[in-house]
Amino acid sequence: MADPLRDSDPAHIGPYTLHARLGGGGMGQVFLGRSPGGHTVAVKVVRPELADDADFRRRFAAEVKAARKVGGFYTAPVVDADTDATPPWLVTAYIPGPTLHRAVTDHGPLPAETVAVLGAGLAEGLAAVHAQGIVHRDLKPANVLLAQEGPRLIDFGIARALDTTSHTHSSTVLGTAAFMSPEQAKAQKVGPASDVFSLGCVLAFAATGCSPFGEGPALAVLFRVVQEEPDLAGLPVPLAGLISACLAKDPADRPGLDDVLTALTAISSARARDGGRWLPDDLTEVLARHTLNYTRIETPQARPPARKTAEPKTKRSRASEPGTAAPDRAALVVGNLSLEPVEVLLDGIAVGAVPVGGRSRFPLEAGQHTVQVDAGGRRSTVRRIEFKPRGTVRKAFDIGTGSNARPEPVEEVEFKGSWGVPEVLGTIFLLASIVLLGGLISSIASLIDPLLGQLCIAAGFILAVWWVVSAIAEGPPHLGLRDSGLTAGTERGPGKRMASWQDLTQVSLVGGGAETQFVIWPGKDLPKFASLKDFQGGKVVCLAKEIGAAKHHDIERLRAALRWFADDRWVEQTAGRQGGR
């Protein structure tokens, strides 16, 4: 779905006015634009580093020239381009519809007849691409758009242009592992048969919701693509034979596109005659919402004025988010504390994404709205929220542990240490020391009085038990973060410290790796923090490793939580962050 333009985005590319961000890829950023005549288009702008590569420009110009000749009903045609511009750009027809990946992820596998219509359309689109001497090289569900009139194939030829750049000179980069052909995975020469293999993978995904070569690390998937047979369990009988043939390891054993088209047309004929409604009802409804949503987004709007220099803050205010909503409107600010991007849905319509560890602001009409976020197909519980005029609602979302964990709103984030091997060995050493010391004292006491020696042994045992019970009762080191402030120390111990963000002038993470230090700079005297180690005028609350954040991804999660909860008290220490990588 589309995101609003950023301040750094261009307002125009060539003669096209830009209105929103549609996404990005290996080539660059894609914008929703409008031609001078009022046609809606997708404008693809090349990344600056690619634009500086002479080999890329040469190959890109050749691929665009060939792609502009591609016709047919099942592609998004290239309608304009300037390969000599800085940066280079191309324009394709805009197709209002979800990708196949999003449709299957959100609504499940498609019926066999729908898959047949999908495959027939893609086969026809690939045939048009191949007729111009182009091999797609990156056919995958994310490069297939679903429209009312049928599927549309996008991004054909781009992978070949990217192949010339030094930093992408590997065939494994030019496609998605689960949808690549064996010859592409082995960095061998690829031809039209490679796209037939990818087509088989795409159709299997559409029919079952899974790649025929599974998921996991890219290298493991590529090994299965090259060495193992596909998992075709669950494929509808009419499609199984054809998809199996498309997935032959030897390119010579795969059917041609004419044969694929003939077989799929026979399966899809009944659906094709059904008034042209080739998609299930729920996806047809999604298409209608998609079109309406983009119609709203593409309406020309004036750019927001540049931000003025912020005045000195006298007090902390959660309502003073950047870009306060205009009168009679409201805003939702979503923070992403997890380690994967999330997509925000308002009233069931996706309105934009929130990057890892970041936040995004979404303006909306005042009143009641439903809010939900999606992380790779795992959606949070739908919540209905009342938005007051000119008000801002803040919601932070996090994802728990486990493969099926869903993003959910959080009011507090906790980081806890654990009794690992060093702590256990330290405890054993201490207990052994107490026992040895008690034994030595009891031996000396026994020379005076045997009863005194026994009392010394009992006292040593009681002391050891007391120490273990106290340590367990206090719990491991703990750090809690919430809107109001922080708590630190042991989870239940008497040394637990608390501080309000209003009492602090700055918080930062300093250093790198497991030795990263969480440092605060108090704005006034905080007695409970007086015993902490000093650091450049601040106090070291804890080390990352002490609260279970020894690995890089754990430190990044801690950083995201501090950035959200500490808000304007947070100061990024870039040097320390790089040191932690």
List the end-to-end C-alpha distance of the chain, in Å, as a whole number. 32
pLDDT the model gives residue 55: 78
Closest of 296, 398, 406, 274 to residue 347, by C-alpha = 296
Rounded to an integer, what distance in angstroms lies between the CA atom of residue 435 and that of residue 358? 52
Is there a domain that residue 489 lies in? yes
How far is CA 537 from each of CA 33, 507, 515, rounded to the nearest angstrom? 51, 12, 19
pLDDT tens column, 321-331:
433 334 457 88
Tell me: do 246 and 152 sit in the same domain: yes
Annotated binding site: 44
Percentage of the chain lying above the pLDDT 90 cut: 22
Could you give the number of structural domains in the chain?
Answer: 4
Tell me: do 31 and 179 sit in the same domain: yes
pLDDT tens column, 228-277:
999 998 899 889 999 999 999 999 999 999 999 999 988 876 545 444 57
Tell me: do 462 and 481 sit in the same domain: no
Of residues 106 and 101, more confidence is placed in 101
Residue count of the chain = 581
Q: Give me the residues paired with residue 354 across strands.
A: 342
Rounded to an integer, what distance in angstroms lies between the CA atom of residue 103 and that of residue 91? 25
Reply yes or no on whether the pLDDT at 119 is more than 90.
yes
DSSP 238: H
Tell me: do 186 and 76 sit in the same domain: yes
Tell me: do 259 and 366 sit in the same domain: no
Residue 43 belongs to what domain range?
12-285
Instruction: Give the residue-averaged pLDDT of 393-419.
Output: 83
Reply yes or no on whether the pLDDT at 191 is more than 60.
yes
pLDDT the model gives residue 169: 37
Residue 216 makes CB contacts below 8 A (sequence gap 6+) with: none
CA neighbours closer than 13 Å in the CB half-sphere of residue 216? 10
Reply yes or no on whether the pLDDT at 304 is more than 50.
no
Annotated binding site for ATP: 44
Rounded to an integer, what distance in angstroms lies between the CA atom of residue 104 and that of residue 203? 11
Q: What share of the chain is helix, strand, coil (3-state, %, to 5)?
A: 40, 25, 35
Is there a domain that residue 1 lies in? no
Tell me: do 433 and 502 sit in the same domain: no
Is there a domain that residue 305 lies in? no
Residue 387 makes CB contacts below 8 A (sequence gap 6+) with: 330, 331, 332, 364, 365, 366, 367, 368, 369, 393
pLDDT the model gives residue 437: 63
Tell me: do 213 and 354 sit in the same domain: no
pLDDT the model gives residue 468: 59
pLDDT tens column, 34-83:
888 778 888 988 887 777 778 778 878 877 887 777 766 778 778 888 88
pLDDT the model gives residue 2: 64
pLDDT tens column, 333-383:
899 998 888 899 998 888 888 888 888 888 888 889 999 999 888 899 889
Q: Give me the residues paired with residue 393 across strands.
A: 332
Tell me: do 462 and 489 sit in the same domain: no
pLDDT the model gives residue 202: 96
pLDDT the model gives residue 306: 40
> What is the model's pTM?
0.51
The CATH number that applies at residue 261 is 1.10.510.10
pLDDT the model gives residue 231: 92
Tell me: do 71 and 98 sit in the same domain: yes
For the record, the structure tokens of 324 come out as 């306060």
353: left (phi over 0), alpha (psi -120 to 50) or beta: beta
Tell me: do 201 and 229 sit in the same domain: yes
Residue given tokens 């220099």 in the structure block: 309
90 neighbors 78 (Cβ within 8 angstroms): yes
Tell me: do 391 and 439 sit in the same domain: no
- Three-class DSSP category at 237: helix
Is there a domain that residue 136 lies in? yes
Is there a domain that residue 238 lies in? yes
pLDDT tens column, 7-23:
778 889 989 999 888 87
pLDDT the model gives residue 354: 87
Reply yes or no on whether the pLDDT at 115 is more than 90.
yes
Interstrand relation of 144-147 and 12-13 (parallel, antiparallel or unpaired): unpaired
Average pLDDT score, the chain? 78
Is there a domain that residue 297 lies in? no
Rounded to an integer, what distance in angstroms lies between the CA atom of residue 268 and that of residue 174? 32
Rounded to an integer, what distance in angstroms lies between the CA atom of residue 380 and that of residue 398? 10
Rounded to an integer, what distance in angstroms lies between the CA atom of residue 405 and that of residue 410? 14
pLDDT band at 445 (very low <50, low <70, confident <90, very high): low
Is there a domain that residue 290 lies in? no
Tell me: do 516 and 539 sit in the same domain: yes
Among 357, 385, 410, give the residue marking a domain's end. 410
How far is CA 533 from each of CA 285, 341, 372, 507, rounded to the nearest angstrom? 60, 36, 43, 15
pLDDT tens column, 485-542:
898 876 555 557 888 888 888 888 988 887 899 999 887 777 777 778 888 878 898 8
pLDDT the model gives residue 578: 38
Is there a domain that residue 313 lies in? no
The CATH number that applies at residue 549 is 2.30.29
The catalytic residue positions are: 138
Closest of 261, 236, 262, 259 to residue 122, by C-alpha = 261
Reply yes or no on whether the pLDDT at 570 is more than 80.
yes
Rounded to an integer, what distance in angstroms lies between the CA atom of residue 9 and that of residue 35? 18
pLDDT the model gives residue 256: 95
